[in-house]
Structure 1
């Protein structure tokens, strides 16, 4: 998620998120940021427009988030906070297929897809946004690692399998098409990515190997 027409803003410590008015302000600002970036993209995103749409004074936005890059980062942080119900079919391949199918469904939906697409594209335009994007995906991978951990507990995967790496391998081909090559993404490609990750995991390719203190 790095900057073109907007001045670079230094990284800042995330603002605490208590309840009450502060939480409502955050919700309003995130909602406005998502709407603005979806409609106008990163180059059209301004603090003034977010202030107008959210009803929060622009001085508050600058003080808490530093500028547009901080607003994009906050929108990603808010997205990472949302619960993600995970499939639990009793079969790793099917669980991974459902995860990749959800990614496919969201990004190819004409109503749902433009917002996450615009947010990820905007995040790639600043160092602050890029760091937030990495944190977002790291959080999602940690959450979804549960499907592989359950599979290992069932004896379906070798002990020591890194569940986050399994999920990363399943979803990475989808994001590669969406944000790198621009190739069409279809349901079969999503299914194939899940199947490949499941096969690799069962073969032990994602077993975590402790670092060798001797460097061997």
Structure 2
């Protein structure tokens, strides 16, 4: 049985406000204490949401963190629209690098990795699928302007994957590193 958060019934109603309060409390606690010290009682105290509600909705901290990952960048970080492909890609890549270099970025990345099922036939995560669709729309805007954009797969392989790899296994990439990756993609 996979333990995943239930889909929200009212995306802008009380349920979403509760989710925002709990997610906000987790972010604050992570900044103060780190992931190893997170508990449902601490989150309940900080958020003002009863423990029973948190347990009923998420069950455990790891599922809550996974929900935060899924609610993260693809839904909360709009893609840039600078008027040029290079500008859009640089703005996107530097934003990704910036989010991964912060204390919450590393935690969210670790939570995302922990949420990956062991099944080799699992396919793309919902987060990647959603972001890929958005990136495809950004690239289509460039094509409509007469530019020659790369494929989404090339963007993911040449720019996005190295940013995430560095955040996982090395020092996170800087904005300059992100711009160099975009140049490598666009300039060959």
How would you bin the TM-score normalised by the shorter chain? 0.7 to 0.9
TM-aligned CA deviation for residue 168 of structure 1: 1.4
Q: Is the 8 A contact 1:38 1:115 kept in 2?
A: yes
> Quick check: which has more Rg, 1 or 2?
1
Corresponding residue for residue 12 of structure 1: 4
Corresponding residue for residue 81 of structure 1: 75
1:35 and 2:24 aligned: no
TM (norm. structure 1) is 0.70
Q: Which runs of 5+ in 1 are unaligned?
A: 1-8, 201-216
Question: In the alignment, which of 101, 108, 133 is matched to residue 119 of structure 1?
Answer: 108
TM (norm. structure 2) is 0.79
The 1-side partners of 2:2 and 2:30 are apart by: 21
1:71 and 2:103 aligned: no
Residues 1:104 and 1:140: Cα distance change in structure 2 (over 3 Å):
same
- Mean Cα displacement is larger for which, 18-27 or 57-66? 18-27
Residues 1:167 and 1:38: Cα distance change in structure 2 (over 3 Å):
farther
The 1-side partners of 2:147 and 2:111 are apart by: 39
Question: In the alignment, which of 154, 169, 179 is matched to residue 168 of structure 2?
Answer: 179
Q: Is the 8 A contact 1:166 1:198 kept in 2?
A: no
Residues 1:105 and 1:183: Cα distance change in structure 2 (over 3 Å):
closer
Q: Which runs of 5+ in 2 are unaligned?
A: none
